[in-house]
Structure 1
Amino acid sequence: MQRLIIIFWLAISACLLPAQAAEEVTELYQHRVQVNSQAASERDSALQDALQATLLKLTGDSSVLQHPAVTAALRDVRDLVVQYGYQQDEQLWLWAQFDQPQVDRLIQQADSGIWSTMRPKLLVWLVVEEQDLTRKLMAADSEAIIVQQLRNAARRRGLPIQLPLLDLNDTMTVSVIDVWARFMDTITFASARYTPDGVIVARVYQTEPGADVSDKWMADWTLNFGELRWSGEVTAMDKSELGAKVISAVTEELAQRYRIGSQSDVIKRWELTIHNLISLESTIAAEQLLSNFPAIIDVQLIGYGNHSARFELTMQADPARIRQAIDLSKRLQPLDTDNGAEFRWVTTQ
């Protein structure tokens, strides 16, 4: 009876929660790297690491690091640095800020694209099966190495993640068995209190003897993101590495869908309408939001009336890719129209 009461209370609470939208990731063109000293040789290596991490955050595309244009840029990495410095806390860090226009051009030369600052917030249900076949769900406060590496990889990739608290609310709603068996109705219900944009379910276990893999450990994962579904497997000799590998694989899939590539020889124009712009401030904010998307060259307000504004976008990308990026925005809600070019401005509280 107590379980039923708590589940009923959770259901009511979930209905009262506001809809969550993607989070804005900042500082995409800067990164810091742990170093042992301020020696020149170590500085150059750290700057290279920082640029690689910056490119990964911007593109979500690991293959971009192998492109000849990028390998050449890494050899002359200081040409892309705006400023750098050292930070000291428990460790010594080198912090570097890179020149945005140069980095954007480098990504274009590498035949990739830029993932906008709007990133989906993902809830990660991670269950680990140990050698003795016992299984454990990982909580938000876990200090396990696999969780630390998962968090570090998410920060490196610019992907907002959260693990469940596994407090009384969670434990009365979902069990290790539910997550291991991927009972998505139960998992989705338990996830509602965190209002994520998507849910990752990852299972870590030993590979079968004689399996066609050389690594000792494996993780299979699924990502439920709206109506979209992805899944995959990663392996490693050490299970602590699997959290980071899951994040890398998830990021590759999401970024492939949402990053926006630029084609310098193709200029396109797209008109869209935004409704519910009830003030000059909101109209200016909408124009600035559109201007911030990658591959947008210019945004012009070409009409306004009845709290609706019509904008013309000049861009180096397909409108469908811009629309996908807009779908992640907190402020623009797509409307179901034939032309697919109408949105509603969402006011913040």
Structure 2
Amino acid sequence: MSRRVVLLLIALLSPLSSVATEVANLYTARVDASLKLETGLSQGFDQVLVRVSGQRNALSNALVIGQKSSVRQYLVQYGYIDEGGKRWLEVTFNQEAVDRLLRQANLPIWGSLRPMTIVWLATEQNFERELVSEQSPLLAEANLADVLRQRGVPMMLPLLDLDDIMLVDAADVWGNFPVPAIQASARYSADQMVMAKLYQLSGEQYQLQWSVYQLADMQPNAIAKAWHQSQLQGELNTLLPEWLEQMADVFGQQYATQAGLSATDSVQVKIHNLTDLSRVLRAEQSLSSMAMVSQVDLQDFSANYAIFRVNLLGAAQDFYRALALDKQLQAMETFETPMVGADGNVVEENTAVDQQAPETKPAMPSYMWQM
């Protein structure tokens, strides 16, 4: 395998010692300090809008374009920092104002809780296939780490130590046989898994094929099906950054929530293991911090649990999908995205929603607070 290929790929990702799905500083951007200030502020604003919406095409929205001349009204602060041998302009924008703009533009909002993705990547050179590991040296000039930072997408590579090698072979990834990699990924506590293969077509042209599999709440012996598959080709120096950009767009489409300007839904959530008021307040704060939540009210508090009424700026199904990514909340029983009736309560499976039928009180989604 070409050393240049290995260098580029390992610059893409590095394994993390723990899962980090809470993405910080979503509303802070870094741009080249050599730019004129107004240009730098504009580029930083673009970076934040794409990161928070989860979509590059947010910048082509007519309302967003119209606000480009008013960037300073969204500005909180800016300053210059030196890092990695380079000087940066660091810009922070007002979260409430940015979110309001995205809602007015009918664009989604992707909150700070984002799925950790583990990437199993196989390459081929001279008919030899191998998996990319963290043992390969970093490529200094590659800007792939910048793409991940700019998009706010947490990813990791497997360690490929003895435990991994005993389960996964390059042929498994190359043939897109997910079961071995799913088993090996369990130790990393990732939310989803990407399997990809990269090979040379001719000259400087490469092709990359990739698939995404859900890992969270996967049941034993369940048939693994990719929820997204795609491919792209080009030269390595542009192919790999574009791959990351496409992955970020796909994940944003899956996990970002379409939020309106006013509350559109309301649900109840029961959280156990809240044994004192401080835990109740922390749980309430965790719910309130979600991008699509407009208000959280404590409705009941007993010796071990609390019930919250949550007003949403979007659909309940999107709320439950986002809630599944919160590592502090563990669903007490496996359930699919609940069906929600007009009253905001969860409708039990196989129960018809009939406005003429007597009202019933269906089971409330319950979670265990993890300390």
Quote the Cα distance in structure 2 between the aligned partners of 1:240 and 1:193.
32
Alignment map for 1:196-207 (pairs within 5 Å): 196-207=190-201
Report the residue type matching 1:23 in the other structure.
T
Which of 29, 33, 41 aligns to 2:27? It is: 29
Unmatched segments (≥5 aa) in structure 2: 1-17, 219-224, 336-347, 349-361
Q: Deviations over 1:29-77 (max 9, x none)?
A: 1011133x3xxx6222222221122122212112111101212222332
Task: Report if aligned partners of 1:123, 1:196 keep a CA contact under 8 Å in 2.
Answer: yes
Report whether the alignment pairs 1:250 with 2:247. yes
Q: Give, in angstroms, the shift of residue 306 of structure 1.
A: 4.0
Q: Give, in angstroms, the shift of residue 144 of structure 1.
A: 5.6
- SS at 2:269 equivalent: strand
Report whether the alignment pairs 1:166 with 2:154. no
Which of 171, 182, 187 aligns to 1:193? It is: 187
Q: Give, in angstroms, the shift of residue 322 of structure 1.
A: 1.0
Report whether the alignment pairs 1:347 with 2:365. no
Quote the Cα distance in structure 2 between the aligned partners of 1:243 and 1:96.
27
Partner of 1:140: 134
Number of aligned pairs?
319
Q: Give, in angstroms, the shift of residue 88 of structure 1.
A: 1.4
Quote the Cα distance in structure 2 between the aligned partners of 1:56 and 1:288.
26
Report the residue type matching 1:84 in the other structure.
Y
Partner of 2:100: 105
Quote the Cα distance in structure 1 between the aligned partners of 2:82 and 2:312.
42
Q: Give, in angstroms, the shift of residue 21 of structure 1.
A: 6.8
Report whether the alignment pairs 1:84 with 2:81. no
Task: Report if aligned partners of 1:140, 1:162 keep a CA contact under 8 Å in 2.
Answer: no
Alignment map for 1:47-66 (pairs within 5 Å): 47-66=41-60
Q: Deviations over 1:215-253 (max 9, x none)?
A: 932211111113573333343431233333232222222
Q: Deviations over 1:2-51 (max 9, x none)?
A: xxxxxxxxxxxxxxxxxx8762111111011133x3xxx62222222211
Unmatched segments (≥5 aa) in structure 1: 1-19, 210-214
Quote the Cα distance in structure 2 between the aligned partners of 1:59 and 1:223.
20
Partner of 1:156: 150
Report the residue type matching 2:370 in the other structure.
T
Change (3 A) 1:234 1:184: closer
Quote the Cα distance in structure 2 between the aligned partners of 1:68 and 1:139.
43
- SS at 2:167 equivalent: coil
Change (3 A) 1:149 1:201: farther
- SS at 1:242 equivalent: helix
Out of 278-287 and 305-314, give the one that drifted further: 305-314
Partner of 1:74: 68
Task: Report if aligned partners of 2:232, 2:243 keep a CA contact under 8 Å in 1.
Answer: no
Partner of 1:288: 285
Alignment map for 1:206-217 (pairs within 5 Å): 206-207=200-201, 216-217=205-206
Change (3 A) 1:104 1:223: same
Partner of 2:232: 235
Partner of 1:8: none
Q: Give, in angstroms, the shift of residue 107 of structure 1.
A: 0.9
Change (3 A) 1:265 1:194: closer
- SS at 1:118 equivalent: coil
Report the residue type matching 1:32 in the other structure.
R
User: Percent of aligned pairs with the same residue?
Assistant: 29
Q: Give, in angstroms, the shift of residue 207 of structure 1.
A: 4.2
Quote the Cα distance in structure 2 between the aligned partners of 1:220 and 1:147.
24
Report the residue type matching 1:67 in the other structure.
N
Q: Deviations over 1:114-160 (max 9, x none)?
A: 11211111111112234x44434222343465995543322221111
Task: Report if aligned partners of 1:302, 1:312 keep a CA contact under 8 Å in 2.
Answer: yes
When normalised by structure 2's length, the TM-score is: 0.78
Quote the Cα distance in structure 1 between the aligned partners of 2:270 and 2:315.
17
Partner of 1:183: 177
Quote the Cα distance in structure 1 between the aligned partners of 2:308 and 2:244.
36
Report whether the alignment pairs 1:325 with 2:314. no
Out of 219-228 and 284-293, give the one that drifted further: 219-228
Report the residue type matching 2:212 in the other structure.
L
Quote the Cα distance in structure 1 between the aligned partners of 2:248 and 2:178.
21
Change (3 A) 1:328 1:50: same
Q: Give, in angstroms, the shift of residue 192 of structure 1.
A: 2.5
Report whether the alignment pairs 1:301 with 2:290. no
Quote the Cα distance in structure 1 between the aligned partners of 2:364 and 2:19.
20
Quote the RMSD (CA, aligned, Å). 2.6
Quote the Cα distance in structure 2 between the aligned partners of 1:79 and 1:169.
53
